[in-house]
Homo-oligomer: A and B are copies of this chain.
Amino acid sequence: MRTIEWNDIENCIEMIDQTKIPLKLEKKFCKTIDSLIDAIKSLKIRGAPALGAVGGLGIALSAFQYGGEDREEMLGAIISDAKRIKDVRPTAVNLSWGVNRVLDKVLKNRRFATTLSGESIEDIRRFALEEAKRICEEDVKINKTIGENGAKLLNDGDTILTHCNAGRLACVDWGTALGVVRSAVEMGKDIKVFACETRPLNQGGRITTWELMEDGIDVTLIADSSSGIVMRNKMVDKVIVGADRIVKDGVFNKIGTYTHSVLAKENKIPFYVAAPYSTFDIERTGGEIIIEEREADELRKFGESYIAPKNVKVFNPAFDFTPMKNITSIITEKGVLDPGEI
């Protein structure tokens, strides 16, 4: 089952609603850009590679949503939707990447957005959809290659610590960090995983555990702050995480990744980042990127219940920055890279 795909009957985007996992497996159908934006914002769909697919499919949806006959007007609508989609998760480079890649197909000159390519409105829809579907197919293929490249680094019997969810549900399929685990298991290696809960939205506790259990891979849930004790007690052989954005001097990933990297360095445990090339943004450095802060209520509330004082101040960054010196290697579809080579 794919995490996200185009529904050819309804001409809409179909995705697994990840906020419902592990309680139930439920599909969300996005028939409008508003509902897509809501799905991205509320993390019904999340994960760097999946957001690339969302971005691409979002432009296709925009093209299908336009109901008029005026190419100028359609151009305006697509450009405006593209901006709205990209603005939902500004730190997630893949979202913009997916949007821009499909825009490149439908605009004659994206930089100036002067005109649409394609003779007819139908042409434009077709161009957009074909390219968006290509992103999805490539994502699966890329993840499988990342998996194969990374699996060679794992030994039979290894225990891996991972953070958040860089799995099947963060991608169109297979996964990046968990794709490496899956490929190693497929090669016949015995691999166990510690999944960090990943506060405040518990993607590790809810999603990583669920998808590994679905595949019959041995997984143990720990609190984020237990990563220290498991590393110090040599219960972990390697750390593998995904990435939201890889810049010249480091990696942006889910808040807590930097913490694990420091603990890994202290305890001499290899620390790997598994991510597709679409995550690379190496013209920039860490200092140039503004880390998005999410809503205070993610830490103040659980569902409708308050778990902290209602008006307590909160600092809730979505990501942190791990400097390259804390990273052993970056596993990509083009091979395993030394961070010094980036």
A residues contacting B by CB (< 8 A) are 22-23, 163, 194, 196-200, 202, 205-206, 209-210, 213, 218-230, 232, 255-256, 258-259, 262-263, 265-266, 291, 299-300, 302-303, 305-309, 311-317, 320-321
Residue from the list B221, B265, B306, B321 in contact with A299, Cβ < 8 A: B221
Contact indicator B255/A320 (Cβ below 8 Å): no
CA distance A138 to B278 in the complex (A): 62
A300 shortest CB reach to chain B, Å: 7
Question: Can you sample 9 A-B contacts with CB below 8 Å?
Answer: A206-B307, A209-B312, A223-B255, A227-B259, A229-B317, A229-B321, A230-B315, A262-B263, A262-B266
Extra A-B contacts (19), CB below 8 Å, given A222-B314, A225-B225: A163-B225, A194-B315, A196-B225, A199-B223, A206-B307, A206-B308, A209-B309, A210-B309, A220-B314, A221-B299, A221-B314, A221-B315, A222-B299, A222-B315, A225-B255, A225-B256, A229-B255, A229-B321, A262-B266
Q: Which residues of B contact A202 (CB under 8 A)?
A: 307-308
Residues A205 and B307 in contact in the complex (CB < 8 Å), given A199-B223, A223-B299, A300-B221: yes
B residues less than 8 Å from A198 (CB atoms): 225
For A219, list chain B residues within 8 Å (CB): 312-313
- Of B210, B229, B303, which contacts A320 at CB under 8 A? B229
Inter-subunit contact A309/B22 (CB<8 Å): yes
Bound Cα distance A246, B175 (Å): 43
| Smallest CB gap from A196: residue in B | B225
Residue of chain B at shortest CB distance from A256: B225
Q: Given contacts A22-B306, A306-B22, A306-B23, are A316 and B259 in contact (CB under 8 A)?
A: no
A18 CB, min distance to chain B CBs, angstroms: 13
Q: Are A221 and B313 neighbours in the complex by a CB distance under 8 Å?
A: yes
Q: Which of chain B's residues have a CB closer than 8 A to the CB of A263?
A: 259, 262
Contact A228 B259 (CB under 8 A): yes
Q: Are B262 and A309 in contact (CB under 8 A)?
A: no
- A42 and B224 CA atoms in complex are apart in Å by 22
Q: In the complex, A313 Cα to B230 Cα: how many Å?
A: 15
A229 touches which one: B23, B210, B258 (CB < 8 A)?
B258
A48 to B163, CA, bound (A): 31
Residues on B with C-beta less than 8 A from A205 are: 299-300, 307-308
* Distance between Cα atoms of A59 and B218 in the complex (Å): 45
B199 and A224 contact, CB distance less than 8 A: yes
Query: Taking the nearest CB of chain B, how far is it from the CB of A334, in angstroms?
Result: 29
Return chain B residues, CB-CB under 8 Å to A307: 202, 205-206
List chain B residues, Cβ under 8 A from A221: 299-300, 308, 312-315
